[in-house]
Amino acid sequence: MAITGSSRRRAIGKVLGVVWAALCTASLAAEDVVTVRTPAGSVVSRNGTVVDYSASGLRLQPAIGREVAIPAEQIVRLETPQSAAHAEAERLFAARDYGSAADKFAAAVRGEDRAWMRREILARLVHCYRALGDGDSAGRVFLQLAKGDPTAKQFAAIPLAWRADDRLSVSQRQAREWLDSPGDGAANLIGASHLLTTTEAADANAALERLSTDRDARIALLAEAQRWRVRRAGLVADEIARRRATVERLPTPLRAGPRFVLGETLAAAGRTDEAVAMLVCAAIERPEERPLAAASLVAAARALESSQRAEEAKLVWRELERDFGDLIRQGDRNGPRFGAPSNTEAEPDDGR
């Protein structure tokens, strides 16, 4: 059958239509999609390019129109393109292959043009180094992130010592260097945190006292909470209430460490229900901080056992075995084993 000029034009038009649709789809796929909860309570999606994303919220540039500021409390979810290296790093991180994930995150940050996304990747790199027990690298990467944007929403990745064994991941020389860094509150806080239970405790405590009045409220409140680690015994009800209020004043992502310390304090005071609630919250709030989450649940289980609530303790131990069995059996690479439940029904360590 002969192809007429009009049929040829229609055929070309169809092909161009398919190509245009594909180009439009590709363009939309490359956009950032922000799911927002409006003040009225409805949920809507907004497309565009994220210009910046900090603790206060993000700035979105739509394809048409003026830039829009979206407060952090309204953001439900952000969908954004990832490089192949970034996507592979996230897969390895989820598989708990932290060494390989760290290599991929490092490659991803080198190839990332968006400043706000580089901060996201650096925060993941901090978590990798912490999981590997390399506190020196974790601190250096975090401080690189914080200097790039002191208001970064990734501040919650700050690698502070909360557990007794956390300090073992950071060399005393490096911690001292951070403690002595002039005009760098975040570095001073990290250094003091890791020196607080060493022979340099006096200097660390003095630094924390000074930092507790820092103009950055996050640093001030975290410094105050750090001092709780060596002031736990004989607390009266008013002091415990003040500490609880301090936790509530912190942004939610920064509460896990202080909750852990306060939970252990409540457990030692025999306030088991409050202790368990506090410790379980600590485990839930920062799942990426696996040693801290596991230690929080261990402390909760032991508090229940001490109160003769064995059945409830068993439930917590089962949760630990399911989500943190590797840490319970093998122990944190930089510290002693988390331990097993005190009841005789615990599964024996098979050495695997």
Full domain range(s) for residue 199: 160-231
pLDDT at residue 289 in the model? 87
Are residues 309 and 241 part of one domain? yes
Total number of domains in the chain: 3
List per-residue pLDDT tens for the chain, 352 residues long: 444 555 555 544 453 343 334 333 333 346 899 999 988 889 999 999 999 998 889 999 999 999 999 999 999 999 999 999 999 999 999 999 999 999 999 999 999 999 999 999 999 999 999 999 899 999 999 999 998 887 788 999 999 999 988 877 899 999 999 999 999 999 999 999 999 999 999 999 999 999 999 999 999 999 999 999 998 777 888 999 999 999 999 999 999 999 999 999 999 999 999 999 999 999 998 888 888 999 999 999 999 999 999 999 999 999 998 888 877 665 544 333 455 555 434 443 443 3
First to last CA, the chain: 73
Interior CA angle at 218 toward 214 and 219, to 5°?
A: 45
Are residues 351 and 270 part of one domain? yes
pLDDT at residue 236 in the model? 85
The answer to the question of residue 30 being in a domain is no
- The Cα–Cα gap between 264 and 297 comes to 11
pLDDT at residue 254 in the model? 95
The answer to the question of residue 336 being in a domain is yes
What does DSSP assign to residue 288?
T
Task: Assign 3-state DSSP to the chain and report helix, strand, coil percentages, each to 5.
Answer: 60, 10, 30
pLDDT at residue 194 in the model? 97
The answer to the question of residue 25 being in a domain is no
Structural contact between residues 62 and 46, judged by C-beta atoms closer than 8 angstroms = yes
Are residues 133 and 189 part of one domain? no
- Amino acid at residue number 77: R
pLDDT at residue 68 in the model? 94
How many CB atoms neighbour CB 253 within 10 A? 15
Question: How many residues are present in the chain?
Answer: 352
Tokens of residue 321, six digits: 């075995």
- The Cα–Cα gap between 260 and 23 comes to 51
Are residues 217 and 298 part of one domain? no
Are residues 168 and 245 part of one domain? no
pLDDT at residue 121 in the model? 96
The answer to the question of residue 18 being in a domain is no
Structural contact between residues 64 and 48, judged by C-beta atoms closer than 8 angstroms = no
Are residues 346 and 250 part of one domain? yes
Please say which residue of 205, 231, 257 terminates a domain: 231
Structural contact between residues 269 and 235, judged by C-beta atoms closer than 8 angstroms = yes
Are residues 185 and 117 part of one domain? no
Please say which residue of 106, 132, 157 terminates a domain: 157
Domain containing residue 281: CATH number? 1.25.40
Please say which residue of 171, 196, 231 terminates a domain: 231
Structural contact between residues 259 and 282, judged by C-beta atoms closer than 8 angstroms = yes
Are residues 256 and 321 part of one domain? yes
The answer to the question of residue 287 being in a domain is yes
Are residues 326 and 274 part of one domain? yes
The answer to the question of residue 109 being in a domain is yes
CA distances from 211 to 47, 246, 248, 250, 347 (A): 41, 15, 19, 15, 45
The answer to the question of residue 293 being in a domain is yes
- Amino acid at residue number 69: A
H or E element in which residue 75 lies = strand 75-79
* Tokens 């979105």 belong to residue: 60
Tokens of residue 324, six digits: 């943190």
* Tokens 């945190």 belong to residue: 193
pLDDT at residue 324 in the model? 86
